[in-house]
Amino acid sequence: MYLYNVTVNVDDDVLETWLEWMRETHIPDVLQTGLFVGAAFSKLMVEEESGTTFAIQYKLKDMEAFRIYQEMYAEGLQAEHKKKFENKTVAFRTIMEVVAEFTAERLD
């Protein structure tokens, strides 16, 4: 499995609008491409000089799905985000391969 991680710092003056748009529009639009198996939307718990930082981790089953996403959808979806929140967000993106997954077992 692979994770496509998008980390975004959002200016406080657009935070509520951005959060609503991400939950109701952008993340569903990314998932509707059919190339991801799910997503997690997290707030980073750190002190910031300005703004609030979030990480969205989209889960992929293989790199072919990521290649197709990059080729067919990424540019348009990123342009939509930039147009709506230009100069109010800073984002960086990474792709990660999950090397191993672990679960905790209850010891009763």
- Give CA–CA dist 19/52, Å, rounded: 11
Structure confidence at residue 103 as a pLDDT band (50, 70, 90): confident
Q: Is 22 exposed, middle or buried (0-12, 13-18, 19+ CB in 10 A)?
A: buried
- Higher-pLDDT residue of 47, 45: 45
Question: Could you confirm whether domain 2-97 is CATH 3.40.50.2020?
Answer: no
Residue 48 predicted with pLDDT over 70? yes
- Higher-pLDDT residue of 105, 73: 73
Task: Give whole-number Cα distances, 4 to 26, 61, 108, in Å.
Answer: 15, 11, 36
Structure confidence at residue 105 as a pLDDT band (50, 70, 90): confident
Phi (first) and psi of residue 70, to 5 degrees:
-60, -40
Mean pLDDT over residues 37-50, rounded? 92
* pTM as predicted: 0.89
